[in-house]
Amino acid sequence: MAAIGKISGPTALTGLVMYSRSLVSMLFLGRLAELELAGGCLAIGFANITGYSVLSGHSLLRQDHSVLPVTLSKV
């Protein structure tokens, strides 16, 4: 059980930090105006759905696992 805690703790923390970056961006964009907030939401959503998913999936399908850490470090 302790081994699972050692793995899940940093994984959960990484997820929270990554999503908090989007949250802070949305808070700042929301202070500007509604149009900027809508544009920021669309841009972040588009990048999350297409960009990161496609790059991660592409490196996994190619069985070239050396590309995956580079791809995820740019997130």
Domain regions of the chain by residue span: 2-73
Find where tokens 């999503």 sit: 19
pLDDT (0 to 100) of residue 45: 83
Distance CA 27, CA 59 (A): 33
Instruction: Give the predicted TM-score (pTM) of the model.
Output: 0.50
Summarised one tens digit per residue, pLDDT across range 49-63 is 777 666 666 656 666
HEC profile of 43-55: HHHHHHHHHHHHH
In this predicted structure, what is the pLDDT of residue 75? 53
- Interval 11-33: pLDDT, tens: 888 888 888 888 888 888 888 88
